[in-house]
């Protein structure tokens, strides 16, 4: 006996559209899925699943930046460090969330590339400091 779908395609589309509208209008509201599920009389987990499917199908195809093994020049890296220290804030990009933010996998790849770059920068700064201290 084939599996019978519990919700009609129209219900799925309407509830998904409502969640996406409300997320855009109310980005800080954490109860959107629960309230929408109650409104359309669907399960919260079903609605979450439909949202994941939608986001996966509509995520932008972003190519990860290639990671190079060469370290940047020490003077350029040394100039960037005082600017960050003076502002008291890190130069790391802000993490975005919500619909259209991309998939978790692509975000992980971005963060891994950033970690690799920061490690190269750290090594370059260590080398520059060693040269300065040897004088």
From the list 133, 6, 13, 123, the residue with the least C-alpha distance to 69 is: 123
Q: Please, which pLDDT band fits residue 25 given cuts at 50, 70 and 90?
A: very high
Segment 47-61, tens digit of pLDDT: 999 999 999 998 876
User: pLDDT: is 4 or 10 the higher one?
Assistant: 10
Name the least confident of 19-23, 67-71, 103-107: 67-71
Residue at 69 is within a domain: no
Q: For the whole model, what pTM was predicted? A: 0.44
Based on the fold, state whether residues 45 and 81 are members of the same structural domain. no
Based on the fold, state whether residues 80 and 36 are members of the same structural domain. no
For residue 67, the model assigns a pLDDT of 56
Based on the fold, state whether residues 87 and 43 are members of the same structural domain. no
CA distance 28 to 89: 24
For residue 21, the model assigns a pLDDT of 93
Based on the fold, state whether residues 47 and 88 are members of the same structural domain. no
Residue at 18 is within a domain: yes
- Structural domain including 37 reads 9-57
Q: What is the CATH number of the domain that holds 44?
A: 1.10.10.10
Token couple for 118: 């920061």
DSSP string for the chain: -PPPPSS-HHHHHHHHHHHHHHHHH-TT-TTHHHHHHHHHT--HHHHHHHHHHHHHHT---PPPPPPP-SPPPHHHHHHHHHHHHHHTS--PPPPP-STTS--HHHHHHHHHHHHHHHHHHHHHHHHHHHHHHH-
- The fraction of the chain above a pLDDT of 90, given in percent, is 38
Segment 106-133, tens digit of pLDDT: 888 888 899 999 999 999 888 888 888 8
């Amino acid at each position: 006996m084939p599996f019978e779908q519990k919700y009609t395609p129209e219900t799925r589309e309407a509830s998904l559209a409502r969640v996406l509208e409300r997320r855009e209008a109310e980005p800080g509201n954490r109860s959107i899925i629960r309230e929408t599920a109650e409104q359309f009389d669907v399960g919260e987990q079903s609605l979450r699943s439909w949202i994941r499917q939608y986001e996966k199908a509509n995520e932008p195809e972003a190519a990860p930046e290639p990671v190079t093994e060469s370290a940047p020049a020490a003077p350029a890296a040394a100039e960037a460090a005082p600017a960050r220290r003076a502002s008291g804030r890190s130069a790391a990009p802000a993490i975005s969330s919500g619909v259209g933010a991309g998939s978790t996998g692509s975000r992980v790849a971005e963060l891994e590339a950033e970690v690799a770059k920061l490690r190269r920068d750290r090594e370059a700064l260590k080398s520059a400091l060693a040269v300065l201290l040897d004088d």
